[in-house]
Amino acid sequence: MTSTLLIRLAGPLQAWGTLSKFRHRDTDPNRPTKSGVIGLLAAADGHDRSGINHDYPDALPLETLAALRFGVRADRPGVLMRDYHTVGGGQFPIRPRDLLLDGRRIPPAQLPPESDRPSPFGSFDVPDWYGAPKSIAPDSFGVLHANPALKRSGLITERWYLADAAFVAGIESDDRDLLVRLADRLDRPRRMVWLGRKNCPPAERLSHGVYEGKLEAVLADTALLPNATQAQPYSWLEAGPNEPGTVPVQDQPVSFTSRNRAHIQRWERRQRMSITNPSITWEVP
């Protein structure tokens, strides 16, 4: 019998990137992506980005999670927020490793007396600007040096978030035991979970239980979130490519490997959802 796991995605900030690069980190302006929610489930289950899963060999493979049907309802769409963000530059604490590897050694006059220095594993600041070593490589004698030609100025990046948003996501499967397992993992995650980006922790309990029924029926039978701003919220429901009203989206996850992230096309349908006489509430027993 078909069942659906409900997931509450609410927090001060969320970020569900679609075309993110280092200097420009975007977010889908309307809702969480399937790739992001499957990544959240994978992390909760102990999945490693490499796919090897040394720590948790029983973690579900990405192929199993990606095959689940996905849908999401935007009860509180939130507002887009742009973060002016800088990386690098400025003053850095000096560590013994930096003093050994940096081609531009710090003048001895800037170093504190021996008696005031911390342990070899400690750190201390120097009065003048200092940048951490970059592009470290051995010279002809095998001695490691940092490339002195590199500039140490900071990089400006642009990061977008959804602020004050709240969504109800649904995961559909014919394997109820699988959904129960994932619900339990969300309550006791094996790895850190976040709402799309590492600086976006969830503000509410994620799992809201497993219910019998197809995705659209369960979402329509679930009450609006307490802070909802939409009486008839939009929903995005995964569908087949030949179904009426469907459009393609490029967020079906294939690989989460850091250097080889890959997504393929899937299809979904957007529709307004009327919530009348819901039997699934948000009250905590």
DSSP state for residue 245 in the 8-state scheme: T
Mean pLDDT of 3-30: 90
Q: Which of left, alpha, beta for 134 (phi over 0: left; psi -120 to 50: alpha)?
A: beta
pLDDT of residue 196: 93
Q: Which residue has the tokens 């997504």?
A: 263
Q: Please give the Cα distance from 33 to 74 (Å, whole number).
A: 12
Q: Are the C-beta atoms of 168 and 206 separated by less than 8 Å?
A: no
Reply yes or no on whether the pLDDT at 96 is more than 90.
no
- Assign 82 a pLDDT band (cuts: 50, 70, 90): very high
Type of residue at 47:
H
Q: Which residue has the tokens 């035991």?
A: 177
pLDDT digits (tens, 9 = 90+) for 202-253: 999 999 999 999 999 999 999 999 999 999 999 999 999 988 999 999 999 9
Q: Please give the Cα distance from 72 to 238 (Å, whole number).
A: 9
Q: Please give the Cα distance from 78 to 167 (Å, whole number).
A: 10
Reply yes or no on whether the pLDDT at 146 is more than 80.
no
Give me the numbers of helices (H) and strands (E) for the chain, helices first please.
5, 11
Mean pLDDT of 101-125: 54
pLDDT digits (tens, 9 = 90+) for 166-190: 999 999 999 999 999 999 999 999 9
276 burial via Cβ count (<10 Å: 0-12, 13-18, 19+): exposed
pLDDT digits (tens, 9 = 90+) for 62-73: 999 999 999 999
pLDDT of residue 258: 76
Name the average pLDDT for the chain: 84
pLDDT of residue 283: 80
Among the ranges 53-67, 102-116, 134-148, 267-281, which has the highest mean pLDDT value? 267-281
Work out the percent of the chain whose per-residue pLDDT is above 90: 60
Reply yes or no on whether the pLDDT at 18 is more than 90.
no
113, 133, 170 from 123: Cα distances, Å: 14, 15, 48
- Assign 124 a pLDDT band (cuts: 50, 70, 90): low
pLDDT of residue 121: 46
- How many CA within 13 A on the CB side of residue 5? 27
pLDDT of residue 132: 53
Reply yes or no on whether the pLDDT at 129 is more than 50.
no
Q: Are the C-beta atoms of 33 and 43 separated by less than 8 Å?
A: no
